[in-house]
Structure 1
Amino acid sequence: MEPKHEKYQRLIDYCKDLPPLPTAVVHPCDASSLTGALEAARIGLIAPVLVGPRARIEAVAQQVEREHGLRIGDVPIVEAAYSHAAAATAVALVREGKAEALMKGSLHTDELMGAVVKRETGLRTARRVSHCFVMDVPGYPDALVISDAAVNIAPTLEEKMDILQNAIDLAHALQFKEVRVAVLSAMETVNPKVPSTVEAAALCKMVDRHQITGALVDGPLALDNAIDPDAARIKKIDSPVAGRANVLLVPDLEAGNMLAKSLSFLAGADAAGIVLGARVPIILTSRADSMVTRLASCAVATLVAKARRESGQPVR
């Protein structure tokens, strides 16, 4: 079995050779969020701009220097009196071209995303905003992308089209050699009484018609026959995805959240978080995240931004 964090460490090491990503860090007013931002800056993943109340940030910075030896130095601070103002100011920095990513500090996700999705002043595109976990699961050969477990509560079929395309685009940004998506349900047969199986089948037909592109997609699949070759073989599922999936599209937020947390707390997995579909990648971290997970989230954002620049086109 490979060492814990091996997949993340490869990702972080690769991104150290790329230019630091200009990142607006929103309201980093606790030690964990400021430490993550400063460590990511120290190793060259991001070039942070700290957005929030200067006095509170500087007080936390003194604590971080005492406990971790990380100095705030000449990292710029943009004054914003409270968390909602920090979110709005950070979004404005992106719109002005002064940042190419957002990073969540010690504010609620809803506060940050509220500023992102505002119709007139936010960072909307025609693509639905969605969240992906990039999970490092011990014993599983590939990094595993799970979507959506944090933003879209009960997505419609139309919304799932965007969630799926966002996840596929992320897998390409992460340089997956082949993107294999399992559209998950409780079973691998289409059952009209289980709407997620019908939607899974519709998504697969949309792939056939090139409405969704860039991946091998199959579903409905249950979790076991999506990721375990023996389970797929026993069920006689003939598919290039079954048993080999590296992207899992979940039916709804509840299923995705429970799946991701089960992997984290029962299987020892780490979960780097990223929001896609806005003008720039948004790094979502949790207070419970380890340092390597925070750094991996920054590395994921760096690769997403790199792929966007190289494509020469914004998200549609």
Structure 2
Amino acid sequence: MIKNFDELLLAVKNNKTMKLAVAAAQDKEVLEAVNSAAKMKLVEPVLVGDEAAIRNIMDDINMADKYRIIHEPDVIQSAKIAVSLVREGKADFLMKGILQTADIMRAVLDKEAGLRTDSLISHVMVYQVPSYHKLLFLTDGGINVAPDLEQKVKILENAISVCKAMGLSKIYASVLAGAETVNVKIPATVDADALSNMHDKWSKLDTVVEGPVALDLAISKEACEHKKYKGEGGGNADILLVPYYEVGNALGKSLTYFADSKSAGIIMGAKAPIVLVSRADTSETKLLSIAMGSIIAKNIK
């Protein structure tokens, strides 16, 4: 079980070097992260984008001029090329560079040329919170705006896949809501209750799903004792499943900016993992995301 990002980096160092296709690679933080990952032999990158801009940045950061560059200055086309590399088996996973999320997802979801599967595409952010005893997997604050119950099932399945790739054997998932009482006027509590009662489904995935659960009971043993909450995963959540996009987005940014948490982000549900973090994220966040994508790509193969 990988408990922090230092352990993640150690784990992937022992993996086979994976091939990474980067769409619109002409971004300093992206190339710094890719360079660090390449030096650690985590990845062999293929850089798709504006070649002159890429080479200028490579010179600035003293990045070795030994990686394949595919010149395509148009970011939409660069996304299509990077996706095709993965689809054709010439790369093991994909990374978003300096382009809009919608642009790369349009290429990923293309019915004929993309990376679609029968699963739902969803985003998983992993946080190393200084005050928490293990990694937290937050989903979905990046793709699905207002998922229904069926979509939440698939979002949770994707997050469980990430947990398993990170070596977790027993997984605790908390389906977040404002309180623990089911209220038909609050759809999030109704969905949470339905998810938590799918016992047979989750037991096959070695996962305990509890909900509706307020955030404090998901992550704090003290809160559980004070409120006399007896759920098996109380205060020990691995996965936090949020009801809506805004909740996950705000909670994730709060962990980063208020709690000084390190993070990594990945998209699941496609034929290969997709490294996707904010354009404002640091090169460290992007490196950790590459490492996570690498370990997931290996697990898929």
Normalised TM-score (structure 1): 0.91
Shift of 1:78: 1.5
- In structure 1, the residue matched to 2:73 is 81
Q: Is the 8 A contact 1:27 1:105 kept in 2?
A: yes
Secondary structure of the 2:54 match is: helix
The 1:280–1:209 alpha-carbon spacing in structure 2 relative to 1, beyond 3 Å, is closer
- In structure 2, the residue matched to 1:161 is 153
Secondary structure of the 1:267 match is: coil
1:255-270 superposed matches below 5 A: 255-270=247-262
- In structure 1, the residue matched to 2:216 is 224
Shift of 1:299: 1.3
Q: Deviations for 1:52-102, whole angstroms, at most 9, x for unmatched residues? A: 12222122222222xxxx22x220011223100000001111111101100
Secondary structure of the 1:74 match is: coil
Counterpart CA distance in 1 for 2:45 and 2:260 is 30
Task: Give the total of aligned pairs.
Answer: 299
Shift of 1:290: 3.0
Shift of 1:212: 7.4
Counterpart CA distance in 1 for 2:231 and 2:298 is 32
Runs (4+) off by over 6 Å: none
Counterpart CA distance in 1 for 2:119 and 2:107 is 16
Counterpart CA distance in 2 for 1:17 and 1:213 is 26
Counterpart CA distance in 1 for 2:13 and 2:5 is 12
Q: Is the 8 A contact 1:165 1:212 kept in 2?
A: no
- In structure 2, the residue matched to 1:187 is 179
- Return the match for 2:117 from 107, 119, 125: 125
Counterpart CA distance in 2 for 1:39 and 1:58 is 16
Does 2:290 match 1:293?
no
Q: Is the 8 A contact 2:202 2:209 kept in 1?
A: no
- In structure 2, the residue matched to 1:312 is none
1:88-237 superposed matches below 5 A: 88-209=80-201, 213-237=205-229
Q: Is the 8 A contact 1:144 1:246 kept in 2?
A: yes
Shift of 1:296: 1.3
1:18-37 superposed matches below 5 A: 18-37=15-34
Counterpart CA distance in 1 for 2:67 and 2:139 is 33
Secondary structure of the 1:128 match is: coil
Q: Is the 8 A contact 1:207 1:213 kept in 2?
A: no
- In structure 1, the residue matched to 2:49 is 52
Q: Is the 8 A contact 1:206 1:212 kept in 2?
A: no
Q: Deviations for 1:271-296, whole angstroms, at most 9, x for unmatched residues? A: 21000000000001333323332221
Counterpart CA distance in 2 for 1:135 and 1:76 is 32
Which letter maps to 2:93? A
Secondary structure of the 2:70 match is: strand
- In structure 2, the residue matched to 1:251 is 243
Shift of 1:211: 9.3
- In structure 1, the residue matched to 2:60 is 63
Does 2:28 match 1:7?
no
Shift of 1:132: 0.4
- Return the match for 1:304 from 281, 286, 296: 296
Of 128-137 and 45-54, the range deviating more from structure 2: 45-54
Counterpart CA distance in 2 for 1:21 and 1:285 is 19
RMSD between aligned alpha carbons?
A: 1.5
Normalised TM-score (structure 2): 0.95
Counterpart CA distance in 2 for 1:99 and 1:195 is 41
Counterpart CA distance in 1 for 2:162 and 2:56 is 36
Shift of 1:259: 0.6
Q: Is the 8 A contact 1:12 1:295 kept in 2?
A: no
Give the gaps of 5 or more residues in structure 1: 1-5, 310-316
Secondary structure of the 2:120 match is: coil
Of 27-36 and 52-61, the range deviating more from structure 2: 52-61
Q: Deviations for 1:218-254, whole angstroms, at most 9, x for unmatched residues? A: 0000000111112112222221111111110000110
Taking every aligned residue pair, what percent have the same amino acid on both sides?
Answer: 40
Q: Is the 8 A contact 2:202 2:208 kept in 1?
A: no
Q: Is the 8 A contact 2:38 2:44 kept in 1?
A: yes
Counterpart CA distance in 2 for 1:138 and 1:55 is 40
